[in-house]
Structure 1
Amino acid sequence: MKQHISNQLFILSFFSILIFSSCKDDSQKTEIETKPTTPKVVEKKPLIAYGINLDNYLVKKDTVKRGETFGTILDQNGIGPTTVYNITQSISDSILNFRRLNFGKPYVILKTKDSLQKPTHFIYEKDRINYAVINLKDSIHGTTGKKPVTIKQKEASGIIKSSLSQAIDDAGLNYNIALRFSEIYQWTVDFFRLQKGDQFKIIYSEKYINDSIYAGLHEVEASLLRHKDRDFYGFNFEVDSTTGRTDYFDENAQTLRKFFLKAPLEYTRISSRYTKRRFHPVQKRWKAHKGTDYAAPTGTPIWSTADGVVIKSSYTRGNGKYVKVRHTNKYTTQYLHMSRRAVNVGDYVKQGDIIGYVGSTGLATGPHVCYRFWVDGRQVDPYKQDLPDAEPMAEKLKPAYFDFIKSLKSQLDKIPFVN
């Protein structure tokens, strides 16, 4: 009996210890859980744009309306004509041409946060990246700036089914890439004769504002066009470190440019080629046609096919409005039937400069440009001439060039073709 009582006392004591310990642990846990924590203070980052802390101002954003001028915009914001005149006389056109605020362009006016809300800055966005800041305070002055831009490199490939522009679109690329691509190869490939199944690969870079907002094509760094089972490489390389001028060369450092462009415009079709015998559609008789007719919509820009000096910019009954350019003592070109001429006699034009616009003036049945070509004073067919290349790469640049394109060519070759 005593033993039984003793056992009961032991068991009661044991459970008492467990209960006590359990209560003690719970009280400690509760005390830890209810301990107050110090809240984190998150500092608000200042809103910096155009090199200014916008938090310090009232910000008014708008766009230039049709018919608005710098003066009317500032007048609407409480700045009178005398001050506007002083501003326009104090700020150089290189910072902001106040006569050319373009319709639809964004601008920002910053004002003081007090009851007067006095304008302190006028900010005009020239494009997505470049802007001008006009300080309207006591000391009037202006500055220019650029939004922070990130350059991102990308790769792409495609296949020609109908046209280059369609192939670029099928590859999900920006149309500006098609324009740049055609510029690279315009001296060596006739893009109106691309064949179904021709392929291309490119390495290009794009501009992004604040690392996220697309701001346009930066450059095509390298390209490969497979046309008629032949590979045409193109690498963009700086040939003048002083001016930053670049040009495209192939894998052997040969320039892709020729002395003359293949054609003087972006044409729809060649409606008539150089021939010794053609039935004239207006005069209704057989005669020589010593030119190449490129059909294109009225108003299409016409380019000078090479550098030169304008020696004629005139009108005749047969030629209509026309321009004639002397390139060297050996070569001369002429462009007929323009709707409008864009150059005058004595003007120096560079290859690709606009010299006029397609029309149907003179003896013409529809909008086109008749392109004529002289060699040593004799009219010839430009498509049958062995025309010179543009200025070749300097020998001293070639070692640096081959080193530069080594990794680019390897990267380009690894991009798979689209089949």
Structure 2
Amino acid sequence: MGNKYLVALLISLSLIGCKEKEQPIVEVVEEKPADIYEFGFNLSDFVVKRDTVRSGDSFGVILERNKIGYPKIFSIAEKARDTFDIRRLQIGKPYTLLCSKDSLETPRCFIYQPNQEEYVVISFQDSIHAYTSRKPIKYVEKTVTGVLNSSISQELDKKGISPILTNKLAEEIYAWTIDFTRLQKGDTYKVIYTDKYIDDSIYAGIHTVKAVVFNHNDKPYYAFRYRTDSIKNKYEYYNEVAKDLRRAFLKAPVQFSRISSKYNLNRRIAYYGFALRPHRGTDFAAPIGTPILATANGVVTESRYKGGNGNYVKIRHNSTYETQYLHMQKRKVNVGQTVKQGDVIGWIGMTGNTGGPHVCYRFWKNGKEVDPFKEKLSSSEPISEALKGDYLAFIKPIKLQLDALPIHDASKKKEAKEIITQKK
């Protein structure tokens, strides 16, 4: 019996040995952290300290706080001043110190960022030198389409689009042709625009709008961005037949407002016993403090407070037209001052006879108050004949791209989901 047990034990031990030999040998390799480059430096070579300029900070204070003596600080400042004036550090702006990877962590380089794109390097590792540079910029073309079921700003916000796009559409492109306060449910839009990124990942907002079409009241309003002057790098927006979208007058003196009372010579008010009280202006309601814009270029002829008008400004645009802006909270311009279309001339208020915050916009033609929305106001000049052929050839593929974009209607998707749910 003893021999049997001995044989069994030897067989078991041999089997264990075989299993141990069959197990793979695992080699442990310590991975080196991936190199990270920024500002042209391998950050892995340094201890990186990031901060922002605080109240009371100066270049000297920051370096002294990080164990650099004043004699060296003075030497650094002297040699860097031809590239960057260290007195220009602004509170709240970020800076980075690249320090030695030892127990002392002595600063070797100071990097200041006056804005998202630019940075100033003051290096004092071996010799002292300074230079300015820019982070790499990437532009990404994107598109957005839709059907209006609310305001354009609300629609784009739901899609996660920057409000800068709304402003560009309303103020830069269509301010002269479409009143964004009067867009209707069911109007459609297609936009080709460019987003801007710094260092491939930092979103820096919408750069430009390449092309757009609004279908408003069953009429398409195209706009294409085109460079009219290569020397001055000047761009304008024109429509599909090379006509400038700018007009002699803006559609409204206030952005994103609503018309609370129209021009009406036959208006009767119950409060006054239904007596005839003609309204010779157009009221645009908006919150107190909303900027009021000059609707065209001109010269300020009146800027004062007077009775029921409250604070008001009057502008002469030419020998034919004048405009007037009533009930301002505060006036920004003075008599004799020249203003340009879109300049802020005051702010919405409730001065004079008014039941709520608004601006009463009055439009004068040959000394008589008229309804601006019934006037056939001239548009600006179309593109020059020398550029027209090039422009039409330039926009042809862009228009094809724009027209081919499918319109995404979020409301229909929601409706479809509700129908499917009900069927289930």
What TM-score comes out, normalization by structure 1 length?
0.75
Any conservation in 2 of the 1:291–1:372 contact (CA below 8 Å)? yes
Counterpart-to-counterpart distance in 1, 2:64 and 2:276: 68
Task: Map 1:248-263 to 2 at 5 A.
Answer: 248-263=237-252
Q: What residue number does 2:283 align with?
A: 293
User: Is 1:238 aligned with 2:227?
Assistant: yes
In the alignment, the residues of structure 2 paired with residue 256 and residue 264 of structure 1 have an alpha-carbon distance, to the nearest angstrom, of 17
Q: Is the 8 A contact 1:200 1:225 kept in 2?
A: yes
SS at match of 1:167: helix
Report the CA distance shift for 1:361/1:282 in structure 2 as closer, same or farther (over 3 A): farther
CA contact (8 A) 1:70 1:98 kept: no
Q: 1:264 to 1:55 in 2, by over 3 A?
A: same
1:275 is paired with a residue of what secondary structure? coil
1:179 aligns with 2:167: yes
Is the 8 Å Cα contact of residues 133 and 143 (structure 1) preserved in structure 2? yes
Q: Match of 2:146?
A: 158
The Cα of 1:335 is off from its aligned counterpart by: 1.8
Deviates more, 1:305-314 or 1:240-249: 305-314
- For 1:233 and 1:246, the matched residues in 2 are separated by 16
1:12-48 Cα deviation digits (max 9, x unpaired): xxxxxxxxxxxxxxxxxxxxxx9xxxxx9x9988644
- Counterpart CA distance in 2 for 1:301 and 1:294 is 12
1:131 aligns to 2:121 (yes or no): no
Instruction: Please state if 1:373 is matched with 2:363.
Output: yes
Aligned to 2:345: 355
1:169 corresponds to = 157
What letter corresponds to residue 326 of structure 1 in structure 2? R
| CA distance in structure 2 between the partners assigned to 1:269 and 1:222 by the alignment | 27
In 2, Cα distance between equivalents of 1:281 and 1:100: 59
Q: What is the CA–CA distance in structure 1 between the aligned matches of 2:327 and 2:119, rounded to whole Å?
A: 42
CA displacement at 1:91 relative to structure 2 = 6.3
Question: Structure 2 counterpart of 1:251, which letter?
Answer: E
Mapping of 1:323-362 within 5 angstroms? 323-362=313-352
Alignment equivalent of 2:378, drawn from 385, 388, 391 = 388
Distance 2:208 2:177 in 1: 20
Query: In the alignment, does 2:51 pair up with 1:62?
Result: yes
TM-superposed CA distance for 1:345, in Å, is: 3.8
Distance 1:79 1:371 in 2: 63
Q: Quick check: 2:211–2:222 contact (8 Å CA) kept in 1?
A: yes
Cα-Cα RMSD: 4.0
Greater Cα shift, 350-359 or 215-224? 350-359
Deviation at 1:265, TM superposition (A): 1.0
- List runs of 5+ in structure 2 lacking aligned partners: 1-24, 410-424
Q: Distance in 1 between matches of 2:327 and 2:86?
A: 39
Question: Contact 1:87/1:140 (CA < 8 Å) preserved in 2?
Answer: no
Within 5 Å, which residues of 2 pair with 1:224-235? 224-235=213-224
* Cα 1:299/1:140, change in 2 over 3 Å: farther
Q: Which amino acid aligns with 2:249?
A: F
Q: CA deviation at 1:338?
A: 1.9
1:212 maps to: 201
User: Are residues 97 and 169 of structure 1, via their aligned partners in 2, closer, same or farther at CA, if it must alter by over 3 Å?
Assistant: farther
Shift of 1:298: 0.8
Q: Does 1:416 align with 2:403?
A: no
Superimposed CA distance per residue, residues 364-400 of structure 1 (whole angstroms, 9 cap, x where no aligned partner): 2221111122223332221121112123211111111
Change (3 A) 1:314 1:95: farther
Amino acid at match of 1:135: I
- Deviation digits for residues 123-142 of structure 1 (CA, Å, limit 9, x no counterpart): 02423xx2341638699987
Tell me the alpha carbon deviations over residues 54-88 of structure 1, each in whole angstroms, 9 at most, x when there is no partner.
Answer: 556543212355x565477567556899979x969
Q: Deviation of residue 250 (structure 1)?
A: 1.0
* Pair 233,267 (structure 1): closer, same or farther in 2 beyond 3 Å: closer
Structure number with larger C-alpha Rg:
1
1:90-101 mapped onto 2 (5 Å cutoff): 98=88, 100-101=90-91
Separation (CA, whole Å) in 2 of partners of 1:386 and 1:81: 71
| Unmatched segments (≥5 aa) in structure 1 | 1-33, 35-39
How many residue pairs are counted as aligned between the two chains?
377
- Residues 94/415 of structure 1: CA separation in 2 closer, same or farther (3 Å cut): farther
Task: Name the TM-score, length of structure 2 as normaliser.
Answer: 0.75
Distance in 2, matches of 1:356 and 1:93, equals: 41
Q: How do residues 11-26 of structure 1 correspond to structure 2 at under 5 angstroms?
A: none
